């Protein structure tokens, strides 16, 4: 007579032995629901769908300040260094994407408004992998372009008063390590902009832009043309041997 209990136990043991370690995963996401905060640029214009958004952690979130006088790429480099930034999904030692990384996190246009939505799934565990983020405060870094190099504005945000805290879950083999965070005013009552990178007016997530040299006004251009013309008239040389009376 076949002992079904022993067969069942054998199947469980085999499943445990052959199960890939990659089954242990952490997945974090943001819900782009209609009540989520709108993401806008420094002029208050809604960001289009598909603009770049990162999720990650800082070692020193107070160690940097956004500099509007240098490029976004230079700001990113400085902030990564001074703030000890690590992007979720990348190996914290090499900076390369972990095997099997999948990410759909970006700005998402819902109902004509741009919101942060999508998810990042890291199915690799280890000290420099998903486990590095266990229990750390979660920050989102948003840009007004699809890449850092083509962006001219950015903002870094963290929710300090929430129903579900912006904290990375503990990578525990699929038990409680799949969390969707909120940017609504109900579930995330207070969201702070970090290091002068962005602001949060009127329930929005607003980016900070670079300082650009003002273009000269039409009046200044006309005045400059008049001055140049006058100088040319005053200093032009007459042809040799020609007097004004010869005309």
pLDDT digits (tens, 9 = 90+) for 109-135: 987 789 999 999 998 889 999 999 999
Instruction: Give pLDDT, residue 189.
Output: 94
12 versus 192: which is more confidently predicted?
Answer: 192
Write a three-state SS string for the chain.
CCCHHHHHHHHHHHHHHHCCHHHCCEEEEECCCCCECEEECCCCCECCCCCEEEEEECCCCCCCCCCCCCCHHHHHHHHHHHHCCEECCECCCCCCECCCCEECCEEEEECCEEEEEEEEEECCCCCCCHHHHCCCECEEEEECCCCCCCCCEEEEEEEEEECCCCECCCCCCCCCCEEEECCECCCEEEEEEECCECECHHHEEECEECCCCCCCCHHHHHHHHHHHHHHHHHHCCCCCCCCHHHC
pLDDT digits (tens, 9 = 90+) for 74-99: 999 999 999 999 999 999 999 999 99
Q: What is the mean pLDDT of the chain?
A: 82
pLDDT digits (tens, 9 = 90+) for 151-200: 999 999 999 999 889 999 998 766 668 899 999 999 999 999 999 999 99
Residue 219 pLDDT grade (very low, low, confident, very high; cuts 50, 70, 90):
very low
pLDDT digits (tens, 9 = 90+) for 29-84: 999 999 999 999 999 999 999 999 999 999 999 999 999 999 999 999 999 999 99
């Amino acid at each position: 007579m076949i002992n079904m209990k022993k067969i069942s136990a054998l199947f469980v043991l085999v499943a445990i032995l052959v199960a890939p370690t990659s089954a242990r995963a952490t997945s974090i996401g943001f819900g782009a629901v209609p009540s989520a905060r709108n993401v806008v640029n420094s002029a208050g214009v809604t960001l289009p769908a598909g603009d770049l958004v990162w999720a990650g952690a800082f070692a020193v979130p107070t160690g940097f300040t956004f500099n509007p006088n240098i490029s976004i790429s230079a700001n990113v480099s400085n902030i990564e260094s001074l703030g000890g930034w690590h992007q979720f999904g990348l190996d914290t030692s090499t900076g390369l994407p972990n095997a099997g990384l999948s990410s759909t996190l970006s700005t998402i246009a819902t109902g004509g408004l741009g919101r942060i939505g999508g998810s990042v799934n890291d199915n690799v565990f280890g000290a420099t992998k998903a486990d590095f983020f266990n229990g750390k405060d979660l920050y989102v870094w948003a840009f007004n372009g699809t890449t850092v190099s083509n962006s001219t504005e950015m903002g870094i945000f963290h929710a300090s008063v929430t129903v579900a805290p912006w904290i990375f879950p503990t990578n525990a083999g699929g038990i409680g390590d799949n969390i969707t965070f909120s940017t609504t005013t109900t579930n995330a009552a207070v969201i702070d902009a970090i290091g002068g990178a962005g602001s949060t007016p009127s329930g929005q997530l607003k980016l900070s832009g670079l300082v650009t040299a003002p273009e000269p006004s039409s009046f200044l251009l006309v005045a400059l043309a008049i001055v140049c013309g006058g100088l040319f008239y005053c200093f032009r040389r007459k042809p040799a041997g020609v007097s004004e009376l010869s005309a």
